[in-house]
């Protein structure tokens, strides 16, 4: 892929991170990973995106400070830590093509979930969070987030039945993903050359190369957050989300089937 196109995709992904972190366009967050994989390759894309996601979390916390249900952390985070450790171990065992395939499958599953979630949860009563559901959801969130920063559907399945207000839902999502991403960060930076631990990847997912690329796109993230907050207060996201889901589906199918 030519550098100008790669740079354009990187700018778009960083902008999407900010917009989605601000609570507008729920599918945008998942779209960033397959787009970056198409531009940079699976392993590099995961490493490039995480520092940008962490930056987006900090800006989003500022806008939604205190507007969350903190109790969800105690149900999800124990499982998240386990899931991240498992996910980091598995990432190192996949080839580039296999990793692309997994990320593509997660993207397609995300779209299918978004299309059917309202029907799934419409008949359910209000759900009170608990460890019995929270810990398995946390483990799955940690694994999918490690592979593709794609824990959105799992976290949504845990939060939507609680019937939170829109602001509380967005604020709680921001809080949860801040913790998930910052839990991942040290694991992404370590490799076996630091500690002789067989479960660590041979090479770190975040390295000098990926950090330099992340730094290039970092200024775009707060711009995206500001745009997302502005859009969230003024526009309906229904039609926009339909476009995002279609784009995510196409990107996922490309990663799965590797069309030429």
* 106-142 pLDDT, tens digit each: 878 878 877 776 665 555 556 788 888 899 999 989 9
Residue 243 has pLDDT above 80, yes or no: no
Comparing 162 with 28, the larger pLDDT belongs to 162
pLDDT at 59: 83
Rounded distance, CA 50 to CA 188, Å? Answer: 9
Query: 12-21, 167-176, 216-225: which has the highest mean pLDDT?
Result: 216-225
Print the domain residue range for 217. Answer: 3-257
pLDDT at 216: 92
Comparing 174 with 21, the larger pLDDT belongs to 174
Rounded distance, CA 172 to CA 205, Å? Answer: 28
Residue 27 has pLDDT above 80, yes or no: no
Comparing 110 with 218, the larger pLDDT belongs to 218
Comparing 193 with 156, the larger pLDDT belongs to 156
Comparing 182 with 32, the larger pLDDT belongs to 182
Residue listed under structure tokens 């370590």: 190
pLDDT at 198: 58
* 182-212 pLDDT, tens digit each: 999 988 887 655 555 555 556 688 888 899 9
What pTM, to 2 d.p., does this model score?
Answer: 0.81
Residues in contact with 141: Cβ distance below 8 Å, sequence separation at least 6, in sequence order: 76, 79, 80, 83, 151, 154, 155, 180
Name the percent of the chain lying above pLDDT 90.
Answer: 18
pLDDT at 139: 93
Q: Which CB contacts under 8 angstroms, 24+ apart, belong to 117-123?
A: 117/153, 117/156, 117/157, 117/160, 121/160, 121/161
Comparing 259 with 222, the larger pLDDT belongs to 222
Mean pLDDT, range 2-14, rounded to an integer: 83
Name the percent of the chain lying above pLDDT 70.
Answer: 82
**Token pair listed for 125:** 């009563």
pLDDT at 121: 59
Residue 32 has pLDDT above 90, yes or no: no
Q: Tally the domains of the chain.
A: 1
């Amino acid at each position: 892929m030519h550098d100008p196109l790669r740079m354009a995709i990187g700018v778009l992904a960083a902008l999407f991170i900010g917009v989605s972190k601000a609570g507008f366009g729920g599918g945008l967050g998942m779209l960033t990973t397959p787009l970056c994989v198409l531009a940079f390759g699976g392993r590099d894309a995961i490493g490039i995106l995480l520092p940008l996601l962490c930056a987006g979390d900090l800006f989003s916390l500022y806008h939604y400070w205190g507007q969350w249900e903190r109790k969800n952390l105690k149900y999800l985070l124990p499982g998240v830590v386990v899931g991240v450790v498992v996910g980091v171990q598995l990432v190192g065992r996949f080839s580039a093509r296999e990793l692309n395939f997994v990320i593509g499958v997660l993207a397609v599953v995300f779209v299918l979930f978004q299309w059917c979630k309202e029907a799934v949860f419409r008949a359910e009563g209000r759900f009170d969070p608990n460890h019995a559901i929270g810990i398995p959801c946390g483990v799955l969130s940690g694994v999918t987030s490690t592979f593709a920063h794609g824990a959105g559907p799992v976290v949504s399945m845990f939060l939507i039945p609680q019937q939170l207000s829109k602001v509380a839902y967005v604020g709680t999502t921001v809080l949860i993903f801040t913790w998930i991403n910052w839990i991942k960060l040290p694991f992404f930076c370590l490799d076996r050359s630091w500690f002789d631990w067989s479960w660590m990847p041979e090479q770190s997912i975040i390295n000098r190369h990926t950090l330099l690329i992340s730094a290039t796109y970092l200024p775009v993230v707060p711009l995206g957050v500001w745009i997302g907050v502005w859009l969230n207060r003024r526009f309906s996201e229904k039609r926009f989300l339909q476009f995002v889901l279609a784009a995510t589906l196409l990107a996922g199918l490309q990663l799965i089937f590797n069309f030429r």
